[in-house]
Amino acid sequence: MPKLLARRVDIARRETAPSYLAHLAVVNGVSGSDLAVDMGFSLKRLINLDEAAVRALSEIGGLDDFAREDMVSWTGHPQGDVRSLFRNEVFVSRAIRSPTVRGCPICLKEDAAATEVANAGAMVMQGHWQLRDVYICVRHGHPLVDLWTFNVPTERFEYSARLREISKSILNGDLDQRRCDPSPYDLWLDARLGDGCDDTWLKDCSLYAAVTFCGLLGCEIARHLYNDSMSAENQKSSCAGLGFEIVKCGPSKISAALHDLAGRADGATDKPNKAFGEMYKQLGRGYLNEPGFEPFRHLLRECILEVWPVAGGEVLLGTVLPSRRLHSVATAASEIGIGIDTMTRLLTAAQVLSASDARPLSRRVFDADHHAEDLIEMSRLVGSPKLRAILGATVSQFNALVDDGVIAPYVSDDTIQARWSPSRIESLLKEISLKAAKHLGSGMGWENLFQARLRSGIALNDLIDAIRANEIDVVRTDREQGIGSFLVRLDQVDRMGIGSQQMRFETDLSLTEMVLAIGLRSTIKFRSFLDAGHSPATRRRHPTNGKEQLYLSAADVAAFHDRFMTIATIVERLGLDRSEVRKRIRARGIARFAPDGAEYGKIYLRRDVQFLGH
């Protein structure tokens, strides 16, 4: 049972346990450590908030349960070896316990003036001064100043002796500094510590993580503003305030600030550590095992993945990436095994990248998943001699197929030798093969596609469309190879020529012409789209064989454009490049037109995509 004291004093606002012990000791004419021993505990035990020591101090001071709990919360209760519970928030102990003790000299002078007790004994050490992220006394607008430094805790927290040693300097104003208005950061932190009040996005975040991240972000933003005339402490305060103005608003503004930092590091070899400096280092290493930092670590990780081509399997800020999100020209070239210069021209010609993008190749990035098929296709591209071999076509036959729009290079850049896709040719040959029967006759009454084109004047794409629509028969002979082995009936070709002239208006488009005009790749899918009735088409019966021929009149084309858009028509309307259009479509989660799961290619409802330019 602690002894009764001759004199007691009320505990002050935000006063810590060692301060209250010193306060009681001075009014009773003894030192803090001596009073602790007299009352049955030690200063060291009180510093560590030993339960028996706190209870004894509360009893000799006459504190009720509420006052005792409040005193403990402002002192900081150790939680293991490296954590402390401070104002119901978990901090690392070094954020609260420093060898250097700080305080507001104006507060201390006011304490001395408000009592008849010896000057030093009346001075109160307030708990929030301990937190390293507190830089100013919001009541007086005075920066916190260093009062003393001791490595041994029992010497550091012997407040009665320490305050007596500097009381003259405090009272004479030797420690006074220029005052300033508290920043929104200072007021927010003071309120959050005082009563937990927080009306910002940070209200649900760890306070330790929040104040630390504000400082880290602010320092990176202001790195180029530092000057030799600003003290380190003022730099920290200024940076914390700068970071807070951004962080308090939440993820979107934080992400924008991170992207601005990433934009500064625009060199060919600049990596995230260059862009984000100490913030990247601390979130990736120093605070990696601190769960309170995860919301901020997630935002930084997302920013990095939206800027740099990080490979799948790499560890980024503590997380193993399941797959690559972005490719750069360099990483794409390495992955598919072609030269960087050719890769650059292929990606530009395919409008995966903008020709006006002046960034280094290592920073010219694109969506790896969205363009995965493009890269596979690019890896298989061949030159025209190899493609003619696959087709089984002569040079003149090859040129005829190109002229009639049956085949087209993967990219139009004729400086690229390997720019033809064999997979498209293989698909075409397979498609016609499925329609063809084996020809066993002498060949009379039949001709190959190129002979039919030359004789009738009907374009190869129209002949192949007629084969697809079962409007003319096709057989395959063993005497030829490749596309030259397919034969069609002369009489059906003749009737097709007469019927086409009778049926078609000058403004009508064939399926192939329409598909090319709107930038699609598959005539078969577009035919299914029209057959399903999603957009009108003109069907007229052939005057000779009675079969329906499919065209799109000017009205049909207009009806399609009124309701639907494709990547090509969006690019034409908005004046953006294809990669930017695709990026905006992904960002807004716009789905292709695919009722009941039908696959018609990259066709979108106009109402879904018409505002992509905003």
Contact yes or no for 202/228 (Cβ under 8 A): no
Between CA 333 and CA 325 the distance in angstroms is 16
- Which region among 7-11, 105-109, 317-321 has the lowest average model confidence (pLDDT)? 7-11
The pLDDT value recorded for residue 227 is 52
The pLDDT value recorded for residue 501 is 47
Question: pLDDT confidence of 357, banded at 50, 70, 90?
Answer: confident
Condensed to tens digits (0 to 9), the pLDDT of residues 136-172 reads 999 999 999 999 999 999 999 999 999 999 999 999 9
Contact yes or no for 365/330 (Cβ under 8 A): no
Between CA 566 and CA 122 the distance in angstroms is 79
The pLDDT value recorded for residue 546 is 46
* pLDDT of 503 over the 60 cut: no
Sequence letter at residue 94: R
The pLDDT value recorded for residue 545 is 45
* pLDDT of 506 over the 90 cut: no
Q: What is the dihedral of CA 276, 321, 332, 269, to 10 degrees?
A: 20
Sequence letter at residue 19: S
The pLDDT value recorded for residue 442 is 54
Q: Pick 62 or 456 by higher pLDDT.
A: 62
CA-CA-CA-CA torsion sign (378, 379, 383, 384) = negative
The pLDDT value recorded for residue 544 is 43
Q: What are phi and psi of 232, to 5 degrees?
A: -60, -40
- Which region among 71-85, 116-130, 363-377, 497-511 has the lowest average model confidence (pLDDT)? 497-511
Question: pLDDT confidence of 120, banded at 50, 70, 90?
Answer: low
Question: Can you name the residues that pair with 567 across neighbouring β-strands?
Answer: none
Q: Average pLDDT of 72-89? A: 93
Condensed to tens digits (0 to 9), the pLDDT of residues 439-490 reads 655 557 888 898 888 888 888 999 999 999 888 999 988 777 788 889 999 8
Condensed to tens digits (0 to 9), the pLDDT of residues 384-406 reads 999 999 999 999 889 888 888 88
Distance of CA 501 to the CA centre of its chain: 57
Q: What angle do CA 189, 191, 194 make, to 5 degrees?
A: 110
Question: pLDDT confidence of 522, banded at 50, 70, 90?
Answer: confident
Condensed to tens digits (0 to 9), the pLDDT of residues 533-548 reads 999 998 765 444 445 6
Condensed to tens digits (0 to 9), the pLDDT of residues 568-598 reads 898 888 878 888 888 889 888 899 999 988 8
Q: Average pLDDT of 198-220? A: 96
Tokens at residue 169, please? 């300097």
Q: Average pLDDT of 95-108? A: 96
Among 286, 284, 291, residue whose Cα is nearest residue 318 = 284
* pLDDT of 500 over the 60 cut: no
Pairing of strands 89-92, 100-103: unpaired
The pLDDT value recorded for residue 2 is 53
- pTM across the whole model: 0.73
Q: Pick 479 or 102 by higher pLDDT.
A: 102
Neighbours of 397 (CB within 10 A): 20
The pLDDT value recorded for residue 502 is 46
Residue 337 backbone class (left: φ over 0; alpha: ψ -120 to 50; beta: rest): left
HSE, side-chain direction, 13 A CA sphere, residue 559: 12
Mean pLDDT score of the chain, rounded to an integer? 88
Contact yes or no for 307/267 (Cβ under 8 A): no
Condensed to tens digits (0 to 9), the pLDDT of residues 172-194 reads 999 999 999 999 999 999 999 99
Tokens at residue 295, please? 């919301």
The pLDDT value recorded for residue 7 is 75
